[in-house]
Structure 1
Amino acid sequence: MGNFIGSSGSSSPCVAEAAHIQNYFSSRTWIEGAALEQLKSVAALPGVSSVAAFPDLHPGKYGPTGIAVLSQRLHPQLIGNDIGCGMSLFELDLPLRKLRIDRAVEGLRRIEAEDVFDPAEALAASSLPPDLFPAALGTIGGGNHFCELQAVDQTVDAAGQSMFDRQRLYLLVHSGSRGLGAFVFGQMLDLQSPITAGLDPASEDGVHWRRQHDVCVTWASLNRRLIAERAASVLRADLRLVTDVPHNLVRDRGTALVHHKGSAAVQAGDMAPIAGSRASLSYVVRSLDSTGPSLGGISHGAGRKYDRATMHGRTGRNRSERVALLKNEWGGQLICDDRSLVIEEAAGAYKDAGQVVQDLADAGLVQELAAMRPLVTYKKAIEGPPDRTRNKPSRERGRAGHGRG
């Protein structure tokens, strides 16, 4: 199972002993020292009793990404501003043999302008207010978010039968709650002083944040589905949801709470994507019964090896290098008109997703089901719609939490 770091803490009776940290990564996986230091800080937060750290672990602003944290208190800063962010995998009824990558690129450049749903109707159908950040629905966002057309590279038989069709195409969508989550996070920052104190889950502020959190998780899942519907429309295909797994959220666990920050929230038997980079394989795994000790968490992706600023000195220093970053060894192509983002999200910025999956499998947390190769990755197109999800009018922004009640 995992490697253990023993409890640590002050001998003073006035200082609570730090929580146990359970590591699920091997010595073969690169883990930055700053992330390990942040783990210790998380373990010392009020109410925290257990921390699980996964192979995609890397430093973050308020704590590392790639963790699950069990606590009696709410710590919204561990979740961050992209509440409900996750990955959804869809199967298309489009045969791989009919794919023309250049034509797919041409179509997918337009996905965020594809008119295939009414935002108010889509929100209402998910029991959300029809004016809750409607302009952002079906949009991907920046950073490491993407919509990727994939094909099966290899499969691992489960019960004697592969669960993935080598002749079909798949969509992997990674996105979250966009400006809605940022608004909720901004509200939360005004509630906590200091930010590390956390919230009493039963307090008015704690109940209010959980309600807003739940809205964000629902909105983010809907957003991923609508992105996929837009992509399927331009590809002239129907789609079927394979799995939808959030990795930035809080879940109840008995009388305590599990905070997932960049860790896929699963139960035994769930399928979950583990994303590589746009020039490396991604994986689909099934979580096993032994995810109980890992607080129901596993890695959601490869995890960053180098931060964004560092990548500008490592690759893309001339035009030929930047052009090379737009293609991969399978003939796949990247749609991204932001030169900085191309460099910051280059394959070299990420760890080896295959090693991440191997660490999780060796720890008894997952069984690999398939490896998926990237064919077309959409991140950002200049002709796409502008990001209108920030600085919303006060009337619309005020609907984020359904009131404080």
Structure 2
Amino acid sequence: MKTPINGTDLLELGYPQGSVIGIALNVNKKRTGHTKEQMLDLYKKVLETPENYIDDALFGKLATALIEKFAEKPEDFIALNPNPKAFSSYGLNHIEAGAIDQMKIAMQLPVTVGGALMPDAHQGYGLPIGGVLATQNAIIPYGVGVDIGCRMALSVYDIPEDFYYENEHKFKRELIAHSKFGAGHGFQGQYRADHAVLESPDFETNPFVKNLKDKAWSQLGSSGGGNHFVEFGILEFESDDAVLGISKGKYVALLTHSGSRGFGATVAGHYTKIAKELCPLPEVARNLAYLDMNSEMGQEYWIAMNLAGDYASACHEIIHNKMQQALGAEVLAKVENHHNFAWKEIWNGEEVIVHRKGATPAAKGVMGIIPGSMTAPGFLVRGKGEENAINSASHGAGRQMSRGQAFRTITKNEMQAVLNHHGVTLIGAGLDEAPMAYKDINQVMASQQELVDVVAKFTPKMVRMADDGSRED
């Protein structure tokens, strides 16, 4: 077994941070017959004289990337603000350094007017997950994220708690029958759903978006991979809620979490590539490349983003309608909120574009759902409209382990023991979604008491996720 080489090894040799490190590590994957020491010696020679390796079968791509990197000049890039604005943060002691560093970089963009970091924040691409960024007349595709319009949707049924426990087999049957999971998975032929969103004229915006319509249709009403779920649980109101019209008590509820599937992911990738070409930022900020809202590409992305959001909402609507009909239940209330999106809002007296990448809208009186994990409670909340948080709150508990770390450190037996302890039935899911991979939701909620009021608590009882724990395509 060959001794691995990591990014730290390359940085110590003097390699520049950024994409060059990734190219160098890909070269190492192809190494044969060299020890770690020999390979590092070769890396050093390539760094010192890349021109000698341009035609080398193994190091040619790396040598070219190094030459291009060394030829870069500051004037080739849009300058970052050397005196960035401060940003608000909540639960800072429980947020990893990588997420904080990403937020600091986002605050250096010349278009940034404000920012906030939510207590569930962790490192992502571009903006950290849990990052909120207000910009002036600019939209950042990776500030929105890959799963555009990902959302939570809750249906509260006129079904008492006891009925669930007496009929768990029925709820399990309907959950399996009326939900579909997995990256790239969808429906074919007569099993395809239909929805008015497919008739949106926005699908005719340009050939790129138009060509995604069939993919969108096939995946309509499905839930994808990763941390997406469809679950039954018990929603408890400790007092009457006049706004929702629900009396104190415990109710069976359906909670779903998913987004715009392959359609949104493809839109994100396409316009991020365009943004990087049109907006040359320094390496440290390149994933925050933005589009001018007055430009053709800015308007194209804005239309496609909103269409992806409408599509994500339609997926939830189909799932909830199917489940309501299967259960024969009356829906007492529905609540839906989304993240991984950008909104035009008035903040500090001016119109801004607010990016919420893994953050819940929490303007005064706005309802939202903040889930914990497959065993931890979720919370139905009402926003307080905290200006310092740019009217936002967390979108969940947030990860405390990377997916890779979860796979390496958590066993199936350990995960099952936690499920058994909490009385949760799990259908599907990989170890990367184990409850232990997530932060303590109660700690997260305690860190944002000034952002939201808790209206009701949701306790998961039966959870379905992608069978293989797969990521979204």
CA distance in 2, matches of 1:75, 1:124: 26
Secondary structure of 2:320's match? helix
TM-score (normalised: structure 1): 0.81
What's the counterpart of residue 268 of structure 1?
364
- Of 46, 59, 67, 2:131 maps to 67
Q: Map Cα deviations across residues 173-232 of structure 1 (whole Å, 9 max, x no partner).
A: 111100110121122033122343411111111011101111011111111111222333
**C-alpha separation between the residues in 1 aligned to 2:391 and 2:84?**
21
Specify whether residues 93 and 81 from structure 1 end up closer, same or farther in structure 2 by C-alpha distance, changes over 3 A only.
same
Paired with 1:132 and 1:118, the residues of 2 have a C-alpha distance of 11
CA distance in structure 1 between the partners assigned to 2:98 and 2:446 by the alignment: 23
Q: Return the match for 2:178 from 103, 111, 117.
A: 111
- Write the letter of the residue equivalent to 2:178: I
Give the corresponding residue for 1:190: 273
Partner of 2:197: 123
Please show how residues 68-217 of structure 1 align to structure 2 within 5 Å.
Answer: 68-72=132-136, 73-99=138-164, 100-112=167-179, 119-124=193-198, 131=214, 133-153=216-236, 155=238, 163=246, 166-192=249-275, 193=277, 194=280, 195=286, 196-217=288-309
Using the alignment, how far apart are the partners of 1:326 and 1:20 within structure 2? 41
- What runs of 5+ residues in structure 1 fail to find an aligned partner? 1-13, 391-405
For the 8 Å contact 2:370–2:395, the answer to whether it is kept is: yes
Q: Give the drift of 1:125.
A: 7.3
CA distance in structure 1 between the aligned counterparts of 2:424 and 2:415, rounded to whole angstroms: 15
Any stretches of 5+ residues in structure 2 without a counterpart? 1-78, 181-186, 204-212, 281-285
Pair 1:227-2:289 in alignment: no
Q: Which has the larger radius of gyration?
A: 2
Question: With CA pairs under 8 Å and 6+ residues apart, which has the higher RCO, 1 or 2?
Answer: 1
Q: CA 1:33 to 1:238, structure 2 compared with 1: closer, same or farther past 3 Å?
A: same
Match among 447, 464, 473 for residue 359 of structure 1: 447
- Cα distance change of structure 1 residues 45 and 156 upon mapping to structure 2, 3 Å threshold: farther
- Could you say which residue in structure 1 is the equivalent of 2:86? 20
* 1:312 corresponds to: 407
Task: Tell me if the contact between 2:149 and 2:259 (Cα under 8 Å) persists in the aligned partners.
Answer: yes
Q: Distance in 1 between matches of 2:293 and 2:263?
A: 21
Q: Give runs of aligned pairs for residues 233-252 of structure 1, distance below 5 A.
A: 233-252=325-344
Show CA shifts across 1:274-317 (max 9, x none). 1000111111111113x22311211111111111111123211x
Q: What amino acid sits opposite 1:171 in the alignment?
A: L
- Residue 301 of structure 1 is matched in structure 2 by 396
Q: Decide whether aligned partners of structure 1 residues 164 and 349 sit closer, same or farther in structure 2, where only a CA change above 3 A counts.
A: farther
Query: Residue in 2 aligned with 1:54?
Result: 118
Aligned to 1:367, the other structure's residue is in SS state strand
Instruction: Find the aligned partners of 1:295 and 1:120 in 2 and give their Cα distance.
Output: 36
Give the distance between the partners of 1:21 and 1:275, measured in 2 at CA: 25
- Which SS does the other structure have where 1:112 is aligned? coil
Whole-angstrom distance in 2 between the partners of 1:128 and 1:302:
34
CA–CA separation in structure 2 for the residues paired with 1:267 and 1:164: 24
Distance 1:90 1:142, change over 3 A: same
Describe the SS at the equivalent of 1:120: coil
Q: Aligned partners of 2:215 and 2:467: how far apart in 1?
A: 25
- Measured after TM superposition, the shift of residue 235 of structure 1 is 3.3
Alpha carbon RMSD of aligned pairs, Å? 2.9
Greater CA deviation, 97-106 or 319-328? Answer: 319-328
Provide the rounded CA distance (Å) in 1 between the counterparts of 2:370 and 2:337.
10
What secondary structure sits across from 2:388 in the alignment?
coil
What does the per-residue CA deviation read over 1:231-270, in whole Å, with 9 as the maximum and x for residues that have no partner? 3344343435421111111111243211110011232101
* CA distance 1:159–1:240, shift in 2 (3 Å): closer
Would you say 1:287 and 2:406 are equivalent positions? Answer: no
* CA shift for structure 1 position 328: 4.6
Indicate if the aligned counterparts of 1:275 and 1:300 stay in contact, CA closer than 8 A: yes
CA distance in 2 between counterparts of 1:251 and 1:61 reads 20
Tell me, what secondary structure is at the counterpart of 1:334?
strand
Matched residue type, 1:53? L
Aligned to 1:400: none
